[in-house]
């Protein structure tokens, strides 16, 4: 169970104002919890300081697992479990294993990436989503600042920084 959390929300109308606001707010020492937008904003992850995703590494590792499992399964079945001579070929002819190996690679890479994404994003079927402002799905950009992570700054100072950065309104939101 998460603790009670309190946020200060800066509401922005324009994505360019939002990008400059994120730079200004981070530059003033305020730690931003998250920015919510109704559509993708180019460059937002860069100004927020996000690192490159490690999801491609997970895809590669799960793909290699799929290839290894497919080759092991086929080799075992065709060489030891139920050896058959098909068209005069060897019991374990590698070219015959390519289609199944490819499909298993793609299947496990896709399922692995989805699983890793759901785990790292903390998306559980039973979780209640935090909705900071319903307008973030329509036409507003919302910058959420966790008050507990910014205990060194005064609430009035954070509000002043948000107003100076171009926020059309500043609100407080609490979750229990």
Asked if the structure places residue 31 within a domain, the reply is yes
Q: How high does pLDDT run on average in the chain?
A: 89
Asked if the structure places residue 165 within a domain, the reply is yes
φ, ψ at 64 (rounded to 5°)? -65, -40
User: Number of folded domains in the chain?
Assistant: 2
Asked if the structure places residue 155 within a domain, the reply is yes
Asked if the structure places residue 92 within a domain, the reply is yes
Asked if the structure places residue 168 within a domain, the reply is yes
Share of the chain above pLDDT 70, in %: 98
Q: Is a pLDDT exceeding 50 seen at residue 37?
A: yes
Lowest model confidence (mean pLDDT) among 4-8, 33-37, 49-53, 117-121:
4-8
Asked whether the beta carbons of 142 and 11 are under 8 A apart, the reply is: yes
Asked if the structure places residue 126 within a domain, the reply is no
Asked whether the beta carbons of 61 and 112 are under 8 A apart, the reply is: yes
d(CA 116, CA 148): 28
pTM of this prediction exceeds 0.75? no
78 in the same domain as 23? no
162 in the same domain as 116? no
Asked if the structure places residue 134 within a domain, the reply is no
Q: What is the pLDDT of residues 52-100, one digit of tens each?
A: 889 999 999 999 999 999 999 999 998 888 887 777 777 777 888 899 9
Asked whether the beta carbons of 15 and 41 are under 8 A apart, the reply is: yes
Share of the chain above pLDDT 90, in %: 62
Which domain covers residue 170, as residue numbers?
5-38+139-175
116 in the same domain as 74? yes
Q: What is the pLDDT of residues 149-164, one digit of tens each?
A: 888 888 899 999 999 9
DSSP one-letter string for the chain = -PPPEEEEEEEES-HHHHHHHHHHHHHTTPPP-EEE-SS--TTHHHHTTPPPPSHHHHHHHHHHHHHHHHHHHHHHIIIIIS----TT--TT-HHHHHHHHHHHHHHHHHHHHHHHHHHHTT--TTPPPP-S-GGGGTT-EEEEEESGGGTTS-HHHHHHHHHHTT-SEEEEEEE-
Q: What contacts 72, CB < 8 A, 6 or more positions away?
A: none
Residue 114 pLDDT level (bands cut at 50, 70, 90):
very high
Asked if the structure places residue 103 within a domain, the reply is yes
Length of the chain as a residue count: 176
CATH number, domain with residue 14: 3.30.70.120
Q: Is a pLDDT exceeding 90 seen at residue 2?
A: no
Greater confidence (120 vs 11) lies with 11
Asked whether the beta carbons of 11 and 168 are under 8 A apart, the reply is: yes
Asked whether the beta carbons of 55 and 119 are under 8 A apart, the reply is: no
62 in the same domain as 116? yes
Give pLDDT, residue 1: 37
């Amino acid at each position: 169970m998460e603790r009670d959390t309190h946020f200060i929300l800066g509401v922005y109308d324009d994505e360019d104002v939002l990008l400059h606001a994120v730079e200004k707010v981070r530059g003033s020492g305020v730690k931003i919890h998250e920015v919510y937008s109704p559509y993708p904003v180019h460059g937002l992850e860069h100004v927020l300081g996000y690192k490159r995703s490690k999801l491609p590494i997970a895809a590669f590792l799960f793909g290699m697992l799929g290839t290894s499992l497919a080759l092991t399964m086929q080799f075992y079945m065709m060489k030891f479990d139920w050896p058959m001579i098909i068209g005069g070929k060897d019991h374990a002819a590698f070219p015959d294993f390519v289609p199944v190996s490819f499909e298993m690679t793609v299947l496990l890479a896709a399922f692995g990436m989805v699983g890793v994404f759901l785990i790292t994003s903390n998306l559980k079927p039973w979780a209640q989503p935090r909705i900071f402002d319903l307008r973030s799905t329509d036409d507003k950009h919302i910058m959420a600042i966790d008050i507990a992570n910014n205990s060194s700054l005064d609430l009035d100072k954070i509000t002043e920084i948000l107003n100076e950065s171009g926020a059309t309104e500043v609100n407080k939101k609490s979750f229990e």
